[in-house]
Chains A and B, each alone.
Chain A
């Protein structure tokens, strides 16, 4: 089994050889490490993308907007991902961002996962029918479990999930009430000796 350190180094060097700058290659190294750590097929998709990239040109998406459409071919997942990562702090006000045709979209995914950590919000990534909930780059919840190459996603959507409770106030109150059963009623004398007791707080 390859270590994550080997995966990072080899992906970085291969990215440089495929024509990316060292700085972007460093990002790819970290990304493939993330994919493989979360059990997603990073090496397999990267290898296939770099083979395909020799034969045809993919479009660079440098400035992300709410709706991003390609002119000729699919977007390069690495340049689009780098742009998303760099611009993520300014993008969250958009709530939802659409991309039409991203090549090898699993290579785009770790940029979004890292953006989730940077902005402190969960991000929902939809690659056609595949969905990935990216939880602050700590884990990924998905309906996609296959170890396969995904060559293109025609409709890609990134949704910024607002930080909110997944439960009702009633659920919370009921559970809180139960938790109170671990508390002990204080006597009057104990209350008098607590922190700050006997002092004026207007000093």
Chain B
């Protein structure tokens, strides 16, 4: 049986993309898989009694070494802020390409804590900073120094000791450009070095908390139980800065979604599912429920989604336990179709993620196809005709072309770059100033404009001639020729409309990162947790690939 890839006009709607969950394709999971055979080492740990100082951690294989350099500093309570406008943090980090010399560390000590106003070099690959969850960190220090383990309930409620507020890579602030390192096989998957940084930061937080507790009470202090460590991740506060990324990198977005859709298609096409594979699917499904019941958020929007997910999952479990026959052919196709007919988008996408668990042979080859050589698709094929371009718009942007942009509600917002922090922001064009400086992210509106311009152009005219008088639409002409080759490269929604929920865009990206427990704090920013339940660095050799479902064991 041949299964078609799902229709981009359905998959690429924001409500669907905002229902995606982590999966085997997620970057933090593929990072662990890639680096499990690398040699992990704590190279330097020079902290004072309060936990301030410098530490270095590394992963090494053959002649290649990646080193995380950590700078932990004293921070006045009044200065602690997760906002991107903050200028000081509890700790700052950079991932160095190789083994840093003392001179490198001294140079970076002056730059890394400054973050956006510091300057990095081509030897540094990623940059980040993080703040303590003071409540949790102090509780853990106090408990350990008293010779006892901390309160598990508090820890599981928060999920981490530190949360990062940004992770930068790819040439930002002088960091190495991607072209310098893109041919290294170990980083073929996207964001792999960003994932490495976060993963090693997690280990630093455990070492730091143990160190401070020991200094506080050397005779009585105990170290944090390893099982508790495993169940802690790294928090992250994420705002709108991440949203334009998925619009600005269409071929990359396509490759992420295409990998997921290809995995789904291939799994649905399996005629005879082995009992071990269906068993693993069921086991992961049941264990994963704990990730949902322990998903804390005060967001009414998210609570509603979680409740509906839980209800749907109970309905689904009942179906597969009572009414479903695993001995029939095309088990996963039947499951998928039943889910589409009976469950909400959130649960359908959740089940798709779980369906990948038994299938390394399907998923693994797709992981290396999730990066993109974006430059290759930048040039506009100007020898094509107006008729070609119009046909692309009519087939690939069907829903977009139906939107009436003369209505205020469809044209309500604009995206801009804030002057004070050079970060993307979103505002009402009828209430705020600055819409004349709008970023080129109103793709749906501009595609519609392009369609109108094409409808009065001569069919046989070539694009080079069309552009002479229409260069203000050049950015969407480029995109249209990209979507022709990359069907999942475009969000099929209006991201300047009144009904846009920006966190759907964030959730899409974060689900590919592998984040759990999305906790929206407004419609424009959210908190997440990464690596919760993951093996510790010296346990990587024989780790459980389904660790993500063990977080509360």
Is the CB–CB distance between B174 and A86 below 8 Å? no
Residues of A within 8 A of B379 (CB): 85, 114, 118
Residues of B within 8 A of A13 (CB): 417
A18 within 8 A of B: no
Is the CB–CB distance between B464 and A87 below 8 Å? yes
Q: Which residue of B lies closest to A6 (CB)?
A: B171
- A interface residue numbers (CB < 8 A to B): 1-6, 13, 21-24, 26-27, 30, 62-63, 82-83, 85-87, 89-90, 114, 118
Mind listing 28 A-B residue pairs with CB under 8 Å?
A1-B121, A2-B174, A3-B172, A3-B176, A4-B177, A4-B179, A5-B170, A5-B171, A5-B177, A5-B178, A6-B171, A6-B174, A13-B417, A21-B474, A21-B475, A22-B440, A23-B474, A23-B475, A24-B471, A24-B474, A26-B475, A30-B375, A82-B471, A85-B379, A86-B382, A86-B464, A87-B382, A87-B464
Is the CB–CB distance between B177 and A3 below 8 Å? yes
Instruction: Identify A86's interface contact among B121, B467, B472, B476, CB under 8 A.
Output: B467
User: In the complex, how many angstroms separate the beta carbon of A19 from the nearest chain B beta carbon?
Assistant: 11
Instruction: Give the complex CA separation of A62 and B471 in angstroms.
Output: 11
User: In the complex, how many angstroms separate the beta carbon of B194 from the nearest chain A beta carbon?
Assistant: 15
B380 within 8 A of A: yes
Is the CB–CB distance between A89 and B383 below 8 Å? yes
Give residues of chain B (462-482) contacting chain A, Cβ–Cβ below 8 Å. Answer: 462-464, 467-468, 471-478
Instruction: Identify B171's interface contact among A4, A26, A30, CB under 8 A.
Output: A4
Q: Which residue of A lies closest to B463 (CB)?
A: A86
User: In the complex, how many angstroms separate the beta carbon of A11 from the nearest chain B beta carbon?
Assistant: 13
- Count chain A CB atoms within 10 A of each CB in B175, B440, B462, B476 and give the residue with the most: B440
Q: Which residue of A lies closest to B469 (CB)?
A: A62
B378 within 8 A of A: yes
B122 within 8 A of A: yes
Instruction: Give the complex CA separation of A2 and B477 in angstroms.
Output: 30
Is the CB–CB distance between A22 and B475 below 8 Å? yes
Instruction: Give the complex CA separation of A63 and B178 in angstroms.
Output: 36
Residues of A within 8 A of B472 (CB): 21-23
User: In the complex, how many angstroms separate the beta carbon of A25 from the nearest chain B beta carbon?
Assistant: 8
Instruction: Identify B471's interface contact among A6, A23, A118, CB under 8 A.
Output: A23
Instruction: Give the complex CA separation of A118 and B376 in angstroms.
Output: 11
- B interface residue numbers (CB < 8 A to A): 121-122, 170-179, 375, 378-380, 382-383, 417, 440, 462-464, 467-468, 471-478
User: In the complex, how many angstroms separate the beta carbon of A97 from the nearest chain B beta carbon?
Assistant: 15
Q: Which 4 A-B pairs have the closest CB atoms?
A: A23-B474, A5-B171, A3-B171, A22-B440
Q: Which residue of B lies closest to A88 (CB)?
A: B382
Instruction: Give the complex CA separation of A89 and B474 in angstroms.
Output: 18
Residues of B within 8 A of A23 (CB): 440, 471-478
Residues of A within 8 A of B417 (CB): 13
Q: Which residue of B lies closest to A87 (CB)?
A: B464
Residues of A within 8 A of B383 (CB): 89-90
Instruction: Identify A21's interface contact among B375, B462, B471, CB under 8 A.
Output: B471
Instruction: Give the complex CA separation of A85 and B471 in angstroms.
Output: 13
Extra pairs beyond A26-B478, A62-B468 (19, CB < 8 Å): A3-B172, A3-B176, A4-B171, A5-B170, A5-B171, A5-B177, A6-B171, A6-B174, A23-B440, A23-B471, A23-B474, A23-B476, A24-B474, A26-B474, A27-B474, A63-B468, A83-B464, A85-B379, A86-B382
Q: Which residue of B lies closest to A62 (CB)?
A: B468
Residues of B within 8 A of A89 (CB): 382-383, 464
Instruction: Give the complex CA separation of A26 and B178 in angstroms.
Output: 18
Instruction: Give the complex CA separation of A23 and B464 in angstroms.
Output: 13
Instruction: Give the complex CA separation of A114 and B417 in angstroms.
Output: 30
Instruction: Give the complex CA separation of A44 and B442 in angstroms.
Output: 32
Is the CB–CB distance between A22 and B474 below 8 Å? yes
Instruction: Give the complex CA separation of A4 and B176 in angstroms.
Output: 9
User: In the complex, how many angstroms separate the beta carbon of A194 from the nearest chain B beta carbon?
Assistant: 34
Instruction: Give the complex CA separation of A173 and B515 in angstroms.
Output: 62
User: In the complex, how many angstroms separate the beta carbon of A175 from the nearest chain B beta carbon?
Assistant: 31
Residues of B within 8 A of A27 (CB): 474
Is the CB–CB distance between A6 and B463 below 8 Å? no
Instruction: Give the complex CA separation of A19 and B377 in angstroms.
Output: 25
Q: Which residue of A lies closest to B467 (CB)?
A: A86
User: In the complex, how many angstroms separate the beta carbon of B388 from the nearest chain A beta carbon?
Assistant: 14
User: In the complex, how many angstroms separate the beta carbon of B407 from the nearest chain A beta carbon?
Assistant: 24
User: In the complex, how many angstroms separate the beta carbon of A3 from the nearest chain B beta carbon?
Assistant: 3
Residues of B within 8 A of A86 (CB): 380, 382, 463-464, 467
Is the CB–CB distance between B464 and A90 below 8 Å? yes
Instruction: Identify B122's interface contact among A3, A62, A82, CB under 8 A.
Output: A3
User: In the complex, how many angstroms separate the beta carbon of B229 from the nearest chain A beta carbon?
Assistant: 36
Residues of B within 8 A of A26 (CB): 378, 474-475, 478
Residues of A within 8 A of B170 (CB): 5
